[in-house]
A and B are shown apart, each in its own frame.
Chain A
Amino acid sequence: MSSSDVFELVGVAAGPADDPILRGLDLRVAANGVTVLAGPSGAGKSTLLRLLNRLDDPVAGEIRWRGRALTEWEPTELRRQVAMVFQRAPVFPGSVLDNLRVASAEVSPDRAEHVLDHVGLPTQLLDQDAATLSGGEAQRMCVARALLTEPAVLLADEPTAALDRAARATVEELGRSLADSGVAVIWVSHDTDQLRRLADHVIVLADGSVRATGHLDELDASDDPLVRQSVGAP
């Protein structure tokens, strides 16, 4: 990992100007492995993820990626490098192949099959109506779609929250294998078991600011009960 391959946030406030969700956030996010964003509901985890994909802008402060302010990046270029998947997999009308073509209009059949295989979906699904996929299949298709832009970072906003246990396991495995193959994964989770299975780094947010960051063993030993609770410390 290059040292410039991180997100740096300085004094970031976001949300309604009169009642911001994030308040003066100072943070460096490692851009390797799986970083899990944890913390209570309303802490600003999803808000932070949306800022990194630039679906929203902060009302104060600055976010830099690869040493450049996000506002200096062409938004479409930034989003192709910093991809995002959502809690409820957004399925576009048409077949699975049609969905892949939204990300890459010129995708070849070989490449489409390869990327489906990469996320653990059978290649026969390519011509299937995407609306008929199960929740887990749809989420993996969304990851496949995002991978077509060859991102360096994948932001995942509670990608398994709407899935059953079996589907959750396949999507977690996919997140892990992507991180191992060099795509930095920043994953929002409410599920402490999941956090403990996945996290290389943890960021605990509470009340719109950073409560703690570090490796799991460091946070397990924290004096702060909220931090220990957020990471499911034994």
Chain B
Amino acid sequence: MTGVEQGDIGTLGLAASGILVAVAVAISLWRHLGLERSLLWAALRALVQLLLVGWVLQFVVDPDDPLIFSVLWLSAMVSFAAYTTSRRAANVPKVLPLSLLAYTASAIVVLGVLFGFGIYELEGRTLVPLAGMVVGNSLAATVLVSRQLLIAATEQRGLIEARLALGLTAKQAFQPHLRQALRTALVPQIESTKAVGIVFLPGAMVGLILAGVDPADAVKVQVSVMYLVLGSVATTTAVMSLGIARELFTPAQQLRRPTTPTD
């Protein structure tokens, strides 16, 4: 489209991009997929949610805004992620406090590195989006690792108790299952990190290039974001799984029955 400033597609442009949603709806109608309502609803929700976020972000990205707003935002994100995790991995013992701990630990480690080494300047404009990347990208892996551990403790109970019965500690008896669950949660992230640039161009980079940033600079930002995601997923799942592994056993090295309350 001519006349559009770099990085600003304008309201008309945004509306025109809606043609692509219409294409998806048309395909659904054509092939009788019955997904038209879902597609429209998803497209509308994304628009409204992001408009809202964009509006609220104005209050934290301005260098004049106090950093406390950003910190509050970060706390809200961590709490919401922990709540979502606790809903999606409901039978995991102490899931809410453990996921709060895991996301907080991950945010401290990852943001500590990014800001501590001066990779990004600490301000609302950087803190909120980066924290969002930490929490958002860790959520699926954290839910996955929690569920995997619970499944292992239930379905592999015989193997775990056989190890305990041989005089192994709870930590030793559960170690193979912990390892497997962590691998399951981390491998997809590693695979997508390997495929980046070949199979797909990541969103942050695409966004920056479309907004007019030099591709070489966009790549640097993107790579730092990918490392951030790897670091956050690894930290969150490690804290979460170690916490869950502790909760699954009694101090007398007995495997609890995870579907019953542990307190």
Q: A and B, one complex? A: yes
Question: Among A54, A57, A71, A145, which residue has its beta carbon within 8 angstroms of that of B166?
Answer: A145
Interface residues of A in 95-140 (CB under 8 A from B): 102-103
- Per-position contact with A for B219-254: 1 when CB-CB < 8 Å, else 0? 000000000000000000000000000000010111
- Per-position contact with A for B173-192: 1 when CB-CB < 8 Å, else 0? 00010000000000000000
Does B168 have its Cβ within 8 Å of any Cβ on chain A?
Answer: yes
Question: Among B164, B166, B168, which residue has its beta carbon within 8 angstroms of that of A146?
Answer: B166
B252 contacts which chain A residues (CB < 8 A)?
Answer: 54, 57, 71, 75
Does A189 have its Cβ within 8 Å of any Cβ on chain B?
Answer: no
- Would you call A55 and B254 a contact (CB within 8 A)? yes
- Which 4 A-B residue pairs are closest in the complex by CB-CB distance? A80-B167, A90-B162, A84-B165, A79-B167
Give the Cβ gap from B225 to chain A, nearest Cβ, in Å: 37
Question: Among B163, B165, B176, which residue has its beta carbon within 8 angstroms of that of A53?
Answer: B165
Q: Which residue of A lies closest to B167 (CB)?
A: A80
Residues of A within 8 A of B (CB): 53-57, 71, 75-77, 79-80, 83-84, 86, 88, 90, 92-93, 102-103, 142, 145-146, 149
Q: How large is the interface on B (under 10, 10 to 19, 20 to 34, 35 or more residues)?
A: 10 to 19
Does B14 have its Cβ within 8 Å of any Cβ on chain A?
Answer: no
- Would you call A57 and B254 a contact (CB within 8 A)? yes
B165 contacts which chain A residues (CB < 8 A)?
Answer: 53, 55, 79, 83-84, 86, 146
B36 contacts which chain A residues (CB < 8 A)?
Answer: none
- Would you call B158 and A88 a contact (CB within 8 A)? yes
Assembly CA distance A229 to B254 (angstroms): 35
- Would you call B166 and A102 a contact (CB within 8 A)? yes
A103 contacts which chain B residues (CB < 8 A)?
Answer: 166-167
Residues of B within 8 A of A (CB): 158-159, 161-169, 176, 250, 252-255
Assembly CA distance A75 to B168 (angstroms): 9
Assembly CA distance A113 to B250 (angstroms): 36
Assembly CA distance A33 to B164 (angstroms): 25
Interface centre among B167, B252, B253, B254 (most CB of A within 10 A): B167
A76 contacts which chain B residues (CB < 8 A)?
Answer: 167-169, 253
Assembly CA distance A105 to B167 (angstroms): 12
Q: A92-B159, A145-B166 provided; 5 other pairs, C-beta below 8 A?
A: A55-B164, A71-B252, A75-B253, A84-B165, A86-B158
- Would you call B162 and A86 a contact (CB within 8 A)? yes
Assembly CA distance A93 to B176 (angstroms): 10
Assembly CA distance A79 to B252 (angstroms): 11
Assembly CA distance A71 to B163 (angstroms): 19
- Would you call B161 and A55 a contact (CB within 8 A)? yes
A142 contacts which chain B residues (CB < 8 A)?
Answer: 162
Q: Which residue of A lies closest to B158 (CB)?
A: A90
Given the known A-B contacts A54-B254, A55-B254, are A77 and B159 also in contact in the complex, defined by CB atoms under 8 Å?
Answer: no
Q: Which residue of A lies closest to B159 (CB)?
A: A90
Q: Which residue of A lies closest to B252 (CB)?
A: A75
Q: Which residue of B lies closest to A146 (CB)?
A: B166
Assembly CA distance A173 to B220 (angstroms): 70
Q: Which residue of B lies closest to A76 (CB)?
A: B167
Give the Cβ gap from A145 to chain B, nearest Cβ, in Å: 7
A79 contacts which chain B residues (CB < 8 A)?
Answer: 164-167
Assembly CA distance A88 to B159 (angstroms): 10
Give the Cβ gap from A159 to chain B, nearest Cβ, in Å: 13
Give the Cβ gap from A11 to chain B, nearest Cβ, in Å: 20
Assembly CA distance A75 to B254 (angstroms): 9
Assembly CA distance A80 to B163 (angstroms): 11
Assembly CA distance A188 to B115 (angstroms): 63
Give the Cβ gap from A87 to chain B, nearest Cβ, in Å: 9
B162 contacts which chain A residues (CB < 8 A)?
Answer: 86, 90, 92, 142
B166 contacts which chain A residues (CB < 8 A)?
Answer: 79-80, 83, 102-103, 145-146, 149
Q: Which residue of B lies closest to A53 (CB)?
A: B165
Assembly CA distance A88 to B157 (angstroms): 12
Assembly CA distance A142 to B159 (angstroms): 12
A88 contacts which chain B residues (CB < 8 A)?
Answer: 158
- Would you call B163 and A102 a contact (CB within 8 A)? yes
Q: Which residue of B lies closest to A92 (CB)?
A: B159
14 A-B pairs within 8 Å (CB atoms) are namely: A53-B165, A55-B164, A55-B165, A55-B254, A57-B250, A57-B252, A76-B169, A77-B167, A80-B166, A83-B165, A84-B165, A90-B158, A90-B162, A92-B163
